[in-house]
Chain A
């Protein structure tokens, strides 16, 4: 690393991996419940497990993004972080809010709106926290020697994520309008501004790993984030098909969400091409695997599997079924989880000074988790398609259908075990790097 304050990223990455572990535990509770084994119902009912599972995902990804920003922004702007103290306060308070929310869900305290379950008073704390984070990052950027495109795109993604959180806090008496504006947050985060963050991190990693000229990489970064917004903003329409919004959303949402895979395809081709063009072969193979893996898996999970059920006449039958869970798992894994794991894999040797670039554990972590996730996606897909045909086409009762598809959840849990083994290996590998140290400072 080049600046002492980049070390702060370590604590964000450590916390992110902690929450990922907890997220996976709750995922297992849900998998067993779907299998018909719901023994924990008395203390952790399904709705609590689900709120914890999805909210921890958002929390650890945000911590991962923040950690990435604390690592990348000083290096890109060639400046120490504006306030390391604020960063630590911000991390501790973020974790405190997250833990309070998790406990609250077990005590039936929430604002039960999908993905935005966090109780209202905690919402305000999240806003204050994110503002503190943004202040720190933007001050670092503007006091720095340089403002690179990569840093600006990353900062822009973070800033818009904060702004887009606000429409989700407005109360509507109408379920239609409630849902309509809730997607401003959820869709425009994951299929909009988060892709700016992903693009920014990806560009940074490609510059470092492939050695391709910054100007070339950043030019294509603009094209990719341009394609993302071109398709993704009106692509929000695919959430407006069946919630009481006007029918013009059927064709607007249909056309633009059919274009959404293009942005992900561009991202995958971009990453692969830069890798092929690059003359510098960075020795950090683990970071390379995760970086290229993120670009390819996000195209499959977010792009292709999203497109598979996004057209209105298909979605009429798949809307609100396990088909959505199939797409959701691989999309979040490929696009966001893997890019966070990529930047962690890249940053760890640099902030600890231990160059564990290429070892068996890192390789097994990558392949096991990915093969496990592919298996989970297939299990969700089979269960989802069976559900659609039985319940939506043949009119079999919901609970009877669920009983019939229980065996697919055994497959899901088995694949999830493989996935989890991969994640555990990744975490062991993380700890093998040791703690961050100033001795890891290098001038260039």
Chain B
């Protein structure tokens, strides 16, 4: 029968072994993998400025990027492919809220400057180039006419 000291040993040894493994894999992911990817070398000052805007306005509070965020508004990893740069930039600069004339969901009218809107577009364009192991998956049965 298991004794208390054996149980303690199981806890301590398991925790230490798996923590070390996790830290090792984190190092490998960060230094050997992510840092060497081509898209890590295309993070321009505009992309960084766009990421700051993304966070300063809590865009993740409605949208998601890489599938992370909220589920109230569309996933934006491939938004430039899907909607085009012009639409996205226009919406970001608009002084009126998206969906203003409906009773349903709306988006805050940020009324970004041309430069800020462009920085966000650069951030989305960059996000679209990252290798996400197949995410977002292509729909299996694409219905005619859907965007």
A432 interface hit (Cβ, 8 Å): no
Whole-angstrom distance between the alpha carbons of A233 and B15 in the complex?
8
**CB < 8 Å: which of B58, B67, B131, B147 contacts A112?**
B58
When the two chains form their complex, are residues A392 and B137 in contact, meaning their CB atoms are under 8 A apart? Answer: yes
Known: A229-B11, A244-B130, A320-B71. A38 touches B104 (CB 8 A): yes
Of B43, B61, B74, chain A has the most CB atoms within 10 Å of the CB of: B61
Known: A112-B54, A219-B4. A175 touches B59 (CB 8 A): no
Whole-angstrom distance between the alpha carbons of A172 and B45 in the complex?
13
User: Which chain B residues border A173 with CB–CB below 8 Å?
Assistant: 43, 47-48, 51
When the two chains form their complex, are residues A38 and B4 in contact, meaning their CB atoms are under 8 A apart? Answer: no
Q: How far is the CB of B71 from chain A (nearest CB, A)?
A: 5
A11 interface hit (Cβ, 8 Å): no
Known: A176-B130, A230-B14. A246 touches B33 (CB 8 A): yes
Whole-angstrom distance between the alpha carbons of A114 and B72 in the complex?
14
Known: A114-B68, A176-B130, A222-B4. A395 touches B143 (CB 8 A): yes
Q: How many residues of A sit at the interface, in one of the four size bands?
A: 35 or more
**CB < 8 Å: which of B8, B70, B135, B141 contacts A319?**
B135
Chain A facing B: main interface SS: helix
When the two chains form their complex, are residues B55 and A316 in contact, meaning their CB atoms are under 8 A apart? Answer: no
User: Which chain A residues border B131 with CB–CB below 8 Å?
Assistant: 244
Q: How far is the CB of A212 from chain B (nearest CB, A)?
A: 14
A358 interface hit (Cβ, 8 Å): no
User: Which chain A residues border B137 with CB–CB below 8 Å?
Assistant: 316-317, 392
**Minimal Cβ-Cβ distance residue in A for B70:** A50
When the two chains form their complex, are residues A110 and B140 in contact, meaning their CB atoms are under 8 A apart? Answer: no
Whole-angstrom distance between the alpha carbons of A398 and B78 in the complex?
13
When the two chains form their complex, are residues A174 and B43 in contact, meaning their CB atoms are under 8 A apart? Answer: yes
Known: A222-B4, A234-B21. A325 touches B71 (CB 8 A): yes
Q: How far is the CB of B89 from chain A (nearest CB, A)?
A: 19
Q: How far is the CB of B131 from chain A (nearest CB, A)?
A: 6
A245 interface hit (Cβ, 8 Å): yes
Q: Which of A208-251 contact B (CB under 8 A)?
A: 215, 218-220, 222-223, 225-227, 229-230, 233-234, 236, 240-250
User: Which chain A residues border B69 with CB–CB below 8 Å?
Assistant: 114, 320
A321 interface hit (Cβ, 8 Å): yes
Of the stretches A2-10, A29-37, A130-138, A276-284, the one at the interface is: A29-37
Whole-angstrom distance between the alpha carbons of A242 and B106 in the complex?
28
B26 interface hit (Cβ, 8 Å): yes
**Minimal Cβ-Cβ distance residue in B for A248:** B25
User: Which chain B residues border A180 with CB–CB below 8 Å?
Assistant: 26, 29-30, 34
When the two chains form their complex, are residues A218 and B61 in contact, meaning their CB atoms are under 8 A apart? Answer: no
A108 interface hit (Cβ, 8 Å): yes
Known: A250-B133, A324-B71, A399-B105. A47 touches B141 (CB 8 A): no
Whole-angstrom distance between the alpha carbons of A38 and B104 in the complex?
6
Known: A41-B106, A316-B135, A402-B105. A242 touches B70 (CB 8 A): no
Whole-angstrom distance between the alpha carbons of A41 and B107 in the complex?
8
Known: A36-B103, A219-B3, A395-B146. A50 touches B26 (CB 8 A): no
User: Which chain A residues border B67 with CB–CB below 8 Å?
Assistant: 242-243, 319-320
User: Which chain B residues border A421 with CB–CB below 8 Å?
Assistant: none
User: Which chain A residues border B2 with CB–CB below 8 Å?
Assistant: 219, 223
**CB < 8 Å: which of A112, A236, A320, A395 contacts B141?**
A395
Q: Which of B23-63 contact A (CB under 8 A)?
A: 25-26, 28-30, 33-34, 37, 39-40, 43, 47-48, 51, 54-62
The interface of chain B, by Cβ under 8 A from chain A, is 2-4, 7-8, 10-11, 14-15, 18-19, 21-22, 25-26, 28-30, 33-34, 37, 39-40, 43, 47-48, 51, 54-62, 64-75, 97, 103-106, 108, 127, 130-137, 139-143, 146-147
- A-B contacts, 16 listed (Cβ < 8 Å): A33-B72, A36-B104, A38-B106, A47-B60, A50-B70, A113-B60, A174-B43, A215-B4, A219-B4, A222-B11, A226-B10, A226-B11, A240-B29, A317-B137, A319-B67, A394-B146
